Amino acid sequence: MLRPSLFINAVSGIVPMVEPLVHMRGISKAYPGVVALRDVDFAMARGEVRALLGKNGAGKSTLVKILAGVERPDEGAIVMDGKAVVLRTPMDGIRAGIATVHQELSVVPELSIAENVFLGRWPKQGGRIDWRRMQREAHDALAVLGLYLDPRQPVARLSVAERQLVEIARALSQGARLLILDEPTSSLVAQEAETLIRVVRQLAEQGTSIVYISHRMDEIRKVAQSVTIMRDGRHIATAPVADVSNRQIVEMLLGGAQGEGGAPRLAGASGVRRPLLAIQGLHVAPRIQDASFEIRAGEVLGIAGVLGSGRTELLQAIAGLRATQGGSMTLDGSAFRPASLREARANGIFMTPEDRRGEGAVMMLGIDENLVMASWRSVSRGGVIDRVAMRAKVAASIRALGIKLAHPGEPLGNLSGGNQQKVVIGKALNAAPRILLLDEPTRGVDIGAKRQIYQLMRDAAADGLAVVFVSGEIEEFCEVCDRVLILRGGSITGAVEGPAIRTETLTELTTGEQGVH
Ligand SMILES: Nc1ncnc2c1ncn2[C@@H]1O[C@H](COP(=O)(O)OP(=O)(O)OP(=O)(O)O)[C@@H](O)[C@H]1O
Ligand SMILES: [Mg+2]
């Protein structure tokens, strides 16, 4: 049953059924050159799970940052429990019972898991930090999410997905009345996302309200009762999920102009695929023991595996970022063993990492500089940067990727999460590699932009590049890959090709019982 809720509909106006937990009224916010929010109304009932949807740059993160006290609105008011509140800092938000998992991870890698879970509120006993209690409670908070790790471990050792779970545990353990999850499952694989969705439902049963931002349409119906759609900083509609079809949602968020459109699946169309890189018995400690496969020019090759199967490590070994302990690689017929990133790049191998804030891009530098960072030579003459050439190249990338920005020179950090991700991909494509390794390239990218990225991958393959694609969302492989390798138990246990690439098949091969037929 739906709980009493408050639905604001673009057509019918405001229909309050009970006093909402929180009501944001007439919120506007501008940054230099961009209006992020225009007169947005947003209200949440107790125990309601609301999906918040919109394209990259629609204003979702800005709205929830204002709700959490991270950003201040230029105009508008926030009413909680019927009283106006002013949230000046994130601490004000937490005090008001609002906990957030932000889109860009905010864990401190040098601190332990337990310290991160209780960041800013370490439990004390007689003036001293109560380490035992902190570890016990952190362990329990993670166990709820199905993550059993030693809470004394530094977060630096964890994968991006595990770090995200630590953040979620932190938000949950704050005992919030309103929990904001900004793309919580973007780096989780299916099973972990399922666990999280279960936890969200439980919390809602207990009366916690949850704002759930996600680009994954399949999740929205599983998790939310109602949905709010934003476009270009405006509130477009709020409705019970049961009342709107996926098609209507997509139309509202894209603005009607673009329908669902066919997937750019061109598998099998690009003729002979020449082996470019052959890998034999590769051993990459600790997770890859014995991997053998080849990467062919002109194909999009997926690597499917569960979290912790070593997908990233495998790419890193090829990109010269991780030492190998055994096995061999042959690039275009010659032995290849990249000792460094530089050496791999010199051989035409380029990788985009899953964590864009880490190695992917430099947030303080301009969008333009990031885009040509790996290809300075192509925009310089005699060692001097040719501004005109640079501007042209930057403009071409912005167009090809549909990056939403105010000015190419502004810092990358100003862009919305999905738009930052597009810049990371643009930077790699500009480097004109022969082998392009993409680790979770569509993380946090909206459904419209995902299709653009798939198309770019297909185009790159059609131009003769080898594109290797790692994703935690199995459905993505079906959209874009010619071939998918199954990485399991430290080796490549199989490959699926062409029309046989189906979600159920891949799920079964990566997670199903082995040896049972
Ligand atoms: N600190 C900032 N400085 C300048 N512009 C900003 C800043 N933060 C956000 N913006 C701009 O405001 C707009 C809305 O951004 P926001 O992050 O809210 O989008 P979003 O809906 O969360 O998108 P995504 O799905 O990509 O995460 C974007 O055009 C973005 O570039
Ligand atoms: Mg965002």
Q: Nearest bound ligand to CA 419? A: 1
Q: Nearest bound ligand to CA 412? A: 1
| Residue to mutate, 56, 180, 414, 453, ligand 1, most ligand atoms under 8 Å from C-beta | 414
Q: Indicate which atom in ligand 1 lies nearest the CA of residue 65.
A: 18
> Distance, CA 103 to ligand 2 centroid (Å)?
6
pLDDT at 230: 96
Q: Nearest bound ligand to CA 230? A: 1
> Distance, CA 419 to ligand 1 centroid (Å)?
9
User: Within 10 Å of residue 220's Cβ, how many Cβ atoms?
Assistant: 19
Question: In whole angstroms, what is the distance from residue 236 CA to residue 42 CA?
Answer: 11
pLDDT at 257: 53
| Residue to mutate, 34, 357, 442, ligand 1, most ligand atoms under 8 Å from C-beta | 34
Question: In whole angstroms, what is the distance from residue 372 CA to residue 390 CA?
Answer: 7
Q: Nearest bound ligand to CA 215? A: 1
pLDDT at 59: 96
Please report the sign of the dihedral spanned by the C-alpha atoms of residue 218, residue 63, residue 441, residue 378: positive
Helix, strand or coil for residue 52?
Answer: strand
Identity of the amino acid at 137: E
User: Within 10 Å of residue 76's Cβ, how many Cβ atoms?
Assistant: 17
Identity of the amino acid at 187: S
> Distance, CA 167 to ligand 1 centroid (Å)?
21
pLDDT at 266: 46
pLDDT at 107: 86
pLDDT tens for the 517 residues of the chain, in order: 344 444 444 444 444 456 799 999 999 999 988 999 999 999 999 999 999 999 999 999 999 999 999 999 999 999 998 899 999 998 899 889 999 988 777 888 889 999 999 887 787 788 888 888 889 999 998 888 878 889 999 998 887 778 888 988 898 888 889 999 998 877 777 777 888 888 889 889 988 999 999 988 888 999 999 999 999 999 999 999 999 988 888 889 888 555 444 444 444 444 567 889 999 999 998 899 999 999 999 999 999 998 778 899 999 999 999 999 999 999 998 999 999 999 999 999 999 988 777 666 788 899 999 999 888 888 888 888 888 999 999 999 999 888 989 899 999 999 988 899 899 999 999 998 999 999 999 888 888 888 888 988 999 999 899 999 999 888 899 989 999 999 998 999 999 998 889 888 998 898 876 543 4
Question: In whole angstroms, what is the distance from residue 430 CA to residue 412 CA?
Answer: 17
Is 154 within 8 Å of 110 (Cβ atoms)?
Answer: yes
Q: Indicate which atom in ligand 1 lies nearest the CA of residue 59.
A: 18
pLDDT at 513: 60
Helix, strand or coil for residue 102?
Answer: coil
Q: Which residues line ligand 1 (CB under 6 A)?
A: 31, 34, 36, 54, 56-62, 103, 404, 414-419, 444, 446
Q: Indicate which atom in ligand 1 lies nearest the CA of residue 420.
A: 26
pLDDT at 6: 43
